[in-house]
Amino acid sequence: MRLPISSEQVRHCRKLAASIAQEVKAEISPLSTVSVERSLLRLVGIEGSNQESVPLVNCFIDQITGQRALEDGALYWLSNTILATGESPQGIAERVGAGSLDLVRLPRQPRRAIEDLCRQIVQDALVTLFGKQRQRREMEESLARAPSPWLYVIVATGNIYDDIEQAKAAAEQGADAVAVIRSTAQSLLDYVPEGITTEGFGGTFATGANYRLMRGALDEVSRRSNRYVRQVNYCSGLCMAEIAALGVLEGLDILVNDALYGILFRDLNMIRTMVDQHFSRYLLGLFDTIIVTGEDNLIKTIDAYEEYSIVLVSQFINEQLAKNAGMREERIGLGHAAELDPALQDSFLKELVQAQLVRQLFPRSPVKFMPPTRYKSGNIFFAHALDTLFNLVSVWTDQAIVLLGMPTEAIHTPYLQDRYLSLESALHVRRAAGSLGRELRFLPNGQGAARARQLLAKTEESLTRISEDGLWNSLASGAFSAIRRTRKGGRGYDGVFRKGQFYQNPFLSREIVRRARRETAAT
């Protein structure tokens, strides 16, 4: 059911996006952030918080920042301290948290010894993580394969224990992926809260402990129902990089990770976000985790039909930024939605064409399709009808991951029965219409083909402009959903720093990664 589009034009779009992403990469590679450094400490096994409930990784980074020693990075100071005191990373972090150890005061050890130790610590951490990853994939392979598209639902009670009950029910009802929506305020926190939480607003806090509880619950249902159920969370906000680390540590399967969302919708600083997003994606790529992007948000406040091409523009850019971070296309789940006003003539056809266009532009991406939300009202019956049509588009155009719409979208975060009704409709459509795309064709000169050509031309035009202006200036001039952000404005810029001459991050070393893989394979 292909749309007739010019592959030359598609190639050109990709090339333009690649040049946009390349410019970003050149600018951010000498930089790191407090969040990236804290994620490194988490990856080498530091966890917990001090008496005042400040996470130890924050205590550590705050201390070296206070001493103006951040530029050498977390792993340099950690290794230096291990060499000087003989203590374990966790032991060191605990003493820093208690205020009884001054990292920067210790004598500087020989550079060579520090480098060697850093590499060793990182290699050991990678071996543990690759081992966990292997176990998880073995478990997945031991279960029946999930049919396509994966049905993705959210739970959002604010209380992890309620979330778990609802997630288990959803999994039993046929959900293939369950996302725990995050509390509204979390993206603006410059730390990841600790422990099990039961009080969130519009969602539940992302913490290592909550991840672990949910993982256990989903694994239990997976085994029981012989179907691997995927765990999803949000790798976004000021702690994007740390969430990536926690995701890898706790075995999450899918992380929502968008390069532009935080900048546009949470007013996070653009440089900070780009550095964090790059390292997050690098890490997630290393462990073959799927990311999904958030282009659906771009058309929540503007005319979703007239300005739809911004979705495609952002997808091209997200794809190239992720590839630059080392991810393979099969793990870059580009997000999209139609959000068309149901009052529009032929809105179903329009949605079908757009969904098919995305499918064609990114054939290897596990594209994630998002349901209508804007034009839903308290009329839950009409909302359910809209969602059923959305499900039909999803199945017909062979989307990989489908976030199910809820009849009560305009009222509250989903109740148990809302999710059931949505799953029932989606399961029905998946069964009823799975072969439709192989049977039907678009007219070569019909409305659909014309719309696809128009969209691609507009996308090419915007990408050309953005590549000329550069991404930073484009964000400043309102190229994305008319939102304007300045280079040094927004939250979190003070957490960005230029790496100093002693800076260490062997997670980025191909050599160390290769060695760790070999060591894992041998065990």
Partner 1 sequence: MSERRSFIRPYGDRLNDGAVQLSFSLPMSLSARSREAAKSIAGRLGLDQIRLVSALDLGNGFSFYILYGTTMVEIDDQAIHLTEVERPLLDFWRINQLLEFELKKRVTVVGATIGTDAHTVGLDAILNAKGFGGESGLERYPQFRVVNLGAQVPPDEVLEAAREQRADVVLVSQVVTQRNAHLENLSLLAEMLEAEGIRQDLLLICGGPYIDSQVALEVGFDAAFGPGTTPLAVASLIVEELLRKAQ
The residues that touch ligand B12, with contacts defined as CB under 6 A, are: 181-182, 184, 202-203, 265, 297, 300-301, 373-374, 376, 409-410, 412-413
Alpha helices in 29-110 (DSSP H): 34-43, 56-66, 74-85, 89-98
* Torsion 373-377-378-379 (CA) sign: negative
Q: Is residue 490 exposed (0-12), middle (13-18) or buried (19+ Cβ within 10 Å)?
A: buried
* Binding residue (CB under 8 A) for partner 1 from 31, 69, 169, 436: 169
* Residue 417 binding target from ligand B12, partner 1, none, CB below 5 to 8 Å by type: partner 1
- For residue 187, the 8-state DSSP code is G
Contact (CB, 8 A) for 158 and 201: yes
Of 68 and 381, the one with the shorter C-beta distance to partner 1 is: 381
Tally of CB atoms within 10 A around 259: 30
Of 410 and 476, the one with the shorter C-beta distance to ligand B12 is: 410
184 binds partner 1 (CB under 8 A): yes
**Measured distance CA(14)–CA(3) in Å, rounded:** 18
Beta bridge partners of 332: 291
Interface characters, 253-282, with partner 1 (x: CB under 8 A): ------------xxx---------------
Looking at residue 262, its amino acid is G
* Residue 330 binding target from partner 1, ligand B12, none, CB below 5 to 8 Å by type: none
449 binds partner 1 (CB under 8 A): no
* Binding residue (CB under 8 A) for partner 1 from 45, 202, 326, 434: 202
Q: Which of 253, 276, 296, 387 is catalytic?
A: 296
Residue 307's SS3 state is: coil
**Is residue 296 annotated as a catalytic residue, yes or no?**
yes
Residue 202's SS3 state is: coil
106 binds partner 1 (CB under 8 A): no
Token pair belonging to 8: 């030359």
**Distances 435 to 158, 350, 395, 397, 430 between C-alpha atoms, Å:** 39, 20, 8, 10, 9
**Measured distance CA(223)–CA(96) in Å, rounded:** 42
Element holding 231 (H helix, E strand): strand 230-234
Q: How far is the CB of 493 from ligand B12 (least distance, A)?
A: 20
Q: How far is the CB of 381 from partner 1 (least distance, A)?
A: 11
Contact (CB, 8 A) for 345 and 314: no
Q: How far is the CB of 340 from partner 1 (least distance, A)?
A: 16
Of 300 and 364, the one with the shorter C-beta distance to partner 1 is: 300
Contact (CB, 8 A) for 177 and 152: yes
410 binds partner 1 (CB under 8 A): yes
Which bin fits 398, alpha (ψ -120 to 50), beta or left (φ > 0)?
left
Contact (CB, 8 A) for 320 and 14: yes
Residues 378-407 that bind partner 1 (CB under 8 A): 378
Of 377 and 447, the one with the shorter C-beta distance to partner 1 is: 377
342 binds partner 1 (CB under 8 A): no
* Residue 173 binding target from partner 1, ligand B12, none, CB below 5 to 8 Å by type: partner 1
Q: How far is the CB of 131 from ligand B12 (least distance, A)?
A: 33
Q: How far is CA 200 from the centre of its chain?
A: 20
* Residue 373 binding target from ligand B12, partner 1, none, CB below 5 to 8 Å by type: ligand B12
Q: Which of 261, 282, 420, 503 is catalytic?
A: 261
Token pair belonging to 373: 């939300």
Which bin fits 338, alpha (ψ -120 to 50), beta or left (φ > 0)?
alpha
* Binding residue (CB under 8 A) for partner 1 from 301, 435, 464, 486: 301
95 binds partner 1 (CB under 8 A): no
Q: How far is the CB of 83 from ligand B12 (least distance, A)?
A: 44
**Is residue 219 annotated as a catalytic residue, yes or no?**
no
230 binds partner 1 (CB under 8 A): no
**Measured distance CA(436)–CA(431) in Å, rounded:** 11
Residues 6+ apart with CB under 8 A from 21: 317, 320, 321, 323, 324
* Binding residue (CB under 8 A) for partner 1 from 11, 116, 195, 201: 201
Residues 25-84 that bind partner 1 (CB under 8 A): none
**Is residue 376 annotated as a catalytic residue, yes or no?**
no
* Binding residue (CB under 8 A) for partner 1 from 52, 141, 199, 306: 199
**Measured distance CA(331)–CA(337) in Å, rounded:** 19
Q: How far is the CB of 481 from ligand B12 (least distance, A)?
A: 9
Residue 303's SS3 state is: coil
Q: How far is the CB of 325 from partner 1 (least distance, A)?
A: 27
Interface residues with partner 1 (CB under 8 A)? 156, 158, 165, 168-169, 171-173, 184-185, 188, 199-202, 265-267, 300-301, 377-378, 410-413, 415-417, 420
Q: Which residues are marked as active site? A: 261, 296, 368
